[in-house]
Structure 1
Amino acid sequence: MALRTVTDAERRQRVGRRHALAPEHRVGTPDQVTTAMTVLHATEASSVYLSVAARAPEATVADLDRALYDDRSLVKQLAMRRTLFVFPRDLLPAAWGSASARVADTERRKIARNVVDDGWATDGEAWLVEVGRQVVELLSARGTLSAKEIREALPMLDGKVAVSASSPWGGPVPIAPRVLTLLGASGLIVRGANAGHWRVNRPAWTLMTEWLGESPTPMDPADGYAELVRRWLRTFGPGTEADLVWWLGSTKSAVRRALADVAAVEVRLEGGGTGWLLPDDLEPEPEVAPWASLLPTLDPTTMGWRERDFYLDPTHTPYLFDSNGNGGTTIWWDGRIVGCWVQDPDGVVVPVLREDLGSDGDAAVASEVDRLTAWLDGVVISSVYASAQMKQARLP
């Protein structure tokens, strides 16, 4: 039986609808946005808010704060590729059993080796068990604490440990953030209330069980990967095996098993190669009217695939992504990245286009520029992951 071909145009239609970016397909709440996107990138605190604002025009900062810190229907969790994400609460057990567990195992082995090599302990694994116990006991007794407060209360965490000289981050580094990162990836503790402005990550740590009010059980690794792949295919499919290996930060064998477990169906991609869709998602995507969107640094749409030619001209990559493949701010027109955006000192959004969009495209982008400027209301966003185009276009 011949494989169905999914064209690049159809893939872009899916982005407009599935990612809640086309105006007629936008949604109302932060929870709806996060579910639509599977997860939201949270490495930069502002990205979460701007990703929501792009897809839920009526949602406010207070609405997202409520979901994150009051209702706790959305939760920050270190997972795929050692990246911090905002997860829908119901997806946490899948991550804990698979992608987060993989990250935790890697971090555990690195820290255990470093503390032994640096003379902190003769048994790195035992040292980690003990310090983890002390952190959990401290948070059980005192509730939510900042990293500084945890470090001050636990002498075992007050200091630096040398990492491999061959690492780009070689040299002495504080041990406390690494241990807290490990415990967070393990699902024992969680980044709770944010002590800073919404555009800054200054989390206080608390026990995951206290934050959620329950103790969900991590999924079996295979089931966890299958659930993550199922959600990813619903949002980003069709995608390739290479896309999934990259997005999950996992192995080909884990991805292949997950694709089999969800009964994914093979399709042909216009540019060549094989993509995958869920078995109940094989019908052609209806057309979507041309749409414009302004997305933040590390937005999940920008970062959803490894193989990006269907929505990104390869000649634009050096300008719009940094050297590590992290996407900066982007302007989209009808399913393709066509530029980036910056702000002037007063917070006004300024588009920087790399293509001629025509009058309709220019008008649609201008409307989104005005909308984002109004939403930001004078708040200026800075980014660690600024692209070359963003740096070049920064205004005095």
Structure 2
Amino acid sequence: MCRAAAVAAGAVSGQRKTALSIRPAGPMMTAITLPQALSFRLDRQHLTNPAADALVAARTLIGAQAQVHSAAILQLRARSAAGAADGDIDRALYHDRSLVKLWAQRSTLHLMPSDDLPMILGLRREYVAGYHNWYAKEGLSLDQVDTLVAAVVQALEQGAHSRMDLSRRLVPELGEWARPMLEHSWGGIIKLACALGHVCHGPAEKADGEGAREALFVHLAQWLGRVLVVPDARTAMADLARRYLAVYGPATPADFKKFVGFYAGPAQQAFADLGGEIVPVTLGAKKAYVLERDLADLMAAEPVERQISVLGLFDPYLLAHVDTGQYLEDRFRPAVYRVAGWISPVILRQGRVVATWTHKTVAGPKGKGAWAVQVTPLERVYKKELPAITRGLKRLSGGVPVEVTGV
């Protein structure tokens, strides 16, 4: 099955290397100002209009990026009316299973609503050929890849396993050649099993014999209690593009390509497949696209004076567009987009980055924890903005006391 999926995905990708045309722009494209675009995105991402709960926020964002689990919690807290308590998110992940942790767009871990998994897995099938290319460079044959995936799935059908559990169980059966891709810290063979819809992250992490934390993996269909019907990749990409534009628009196919972390051809095809659902606008001097049904809301969007938003690590707001100059001066990029792909926590004023922040937990009143926050301004931050910044930080902290310096 893996080999067939790889061949199919490779064929599809090969067919899409040529840019596909999108409905040509008319002579009178609507001009959208940057403040309008940022205001629209802030509202659609629940940064000015909080979501009812973390699940709604996660669905709106098309998942919360979670290679650092606590960062995903902050992304959902920033957008939830009640601040998204840890217990509520744990309940959604491990009891209700309305949220699922797995590799999604950009091959990055996300907390994803389970209702969105068919669309996401349709997208993930497009990554299969790339994984096979990687495994081939590591010396694995297609037969070995198929054998490994089948062995992992069979083991997970019998219960949750960590990477090291799988290695201890399967290497004696398969041989030492299997060990590197079972123990690989970036997912190894488990990433392919996830892309094929077999695997997701499980109930929690466990400590190994040396006290380190190990992620647990489970069989996806067993975890959800149902088998998912996955659409074809082209349908999934169009559905995802529609959802993306509703929240991150106005945007271009290149922006969408960055968001999904895939080739240009499928991204352009997805916009083309939306056909009359999207219309071109000008954003600055550049052409972008928005859903036609959202054009009136976009034109009516108005910035809220000195509106402050506080965002945590890896926030999707900062990951959805090629031109980050829309919300961050180029000279400040190194402070936000750091080495090894780390994205700093930031403070926005009317959608533009004006500061970064860090925190450490210290002893608070009555011995309880508190956040000691250091704000590092990139532009001038005013004392009168401190109450709004503190409220935003307190929402992210889960309600513990917050002490702010640097403003």
Corresponding residue number in structure 2 for 1:215: 227
The reply on whether 1:272 has 2:289 as its aligned counterpart is no
CA distance in 2, matches of 1:260, 1:26: 32
CA distance in 1, matches of 2:360, 2:165: 37
Quote how far apart the aligned CAs of 1:13 are: 0.7
**1:7/1:270 contact within 8 Å kept:** yes
**What's the TM-score, normalizing by structure 1?**
0.83
Corresponding residue number in structure 2 for 1:381: none
The reply on whether 1:12 has 2:12 as its aligned counterpart is no
Q: How does 1:86-97 map to 2 (within 5 A)?
A: 86-97=111-122
RMSD of aligned alpha carbons: 2.7
Q: How does 1:62-211 map to 2 (within 5 A)?
A: 62-98=87-123, 100-116=124-140, 124-140=141-157, 142-155=158-171, 174-175=183-184, 177-195=187-205, 202-211=214-223
**1:115/1:161 contact within 8 Å kept:** no
Say which SS state the counterpart of residue 55 (structure 1) adopts: coil
**1:11/1:310 contact within 8 Å kept:** no
Corresponding residue number in structure 1 for 2:75: 51
**1:351/1:369 contact within 8 Å kept:** no
One-letter amino acid matched to 1:31 = L
Corresponding residue number in structure 2 for 1:385: none
Deviates more, 1:42-51 or 1:151-160: 151-160
**1:114/1:162 contact within 8 Å kept:** no
Match of 1:30 among 32, 50, 54: 54
Corresponding residue number in structure 1 for 2:12: none
Unaligned runs of 5+ in 1: 117-123, 164-171, 379-392
The reply on whether 1:299 has 2:315 as its aligned counterpart is yes
CA distance in 2, matches of 1:138, 1:293: 45
CA distance in 2, matches of 1:185, 1:374: 33
Say which SS state the counterpart of residue 316 (structure 2) adopts: coil
One-letter amino acid matched to 2:338 = D
CA distance in 2, matches of 1:5, 1:369: 35
Corresponding residue number in structure 2 for 1:352: 376
**2:327/2:351 contact within 8 Å kept:** yes
One-letter amino acid matched to 1:128 = V
**What's the TM-score, normalizing by structure 2?**
0.81
Distance 1:45 1:377, change over 3 A: farther
Say which SS state the counterpart of residue 343 (structure 2) adopts: coil
Q: List per-residue Cα deviations over 1:99-134 (Å, max 9, x = no partner).
A: x12323211232144234xxxxxxx11111112222
CA distance in 2, matches of 1:82, 1:48: 15
Unaligned runs of 5+ in 2: 1-26, 363-370
The reply on whether 1:286 has 2:265 as its aligned counterpart is no
**1:54/1:294 contact within 8 Å kept:** yes
Count matched residues. 359
**2:29/2:282 contact within 8 Å kept:** no
CA distance in 2, matches of 1:144, 1:162: 18
CA distance in 2, matches of 1:32, 1:173: 34
Q: List per-residue Cα deviations over 1:85-108 (Å, max 9, x = no partner).
A: 22222221122122x123232112
Corresponding residue number in structure 2 for 1:238: 250
Deviates more, 1:363-372 or 1:250-259: 363-372
- Higher share in helix: 2
**2:42/2:351 contact within 8 Å kept:** yes
CA distance in 1, matches of 2:178, 2:226: 35
Quote how far apart the aligned CAs of 1:253 are: 2.1
Distance 1:12 1:360, change over 3 A: farther
Say which SS state the counterpart of residue 13 (structure 1) adopts: helix
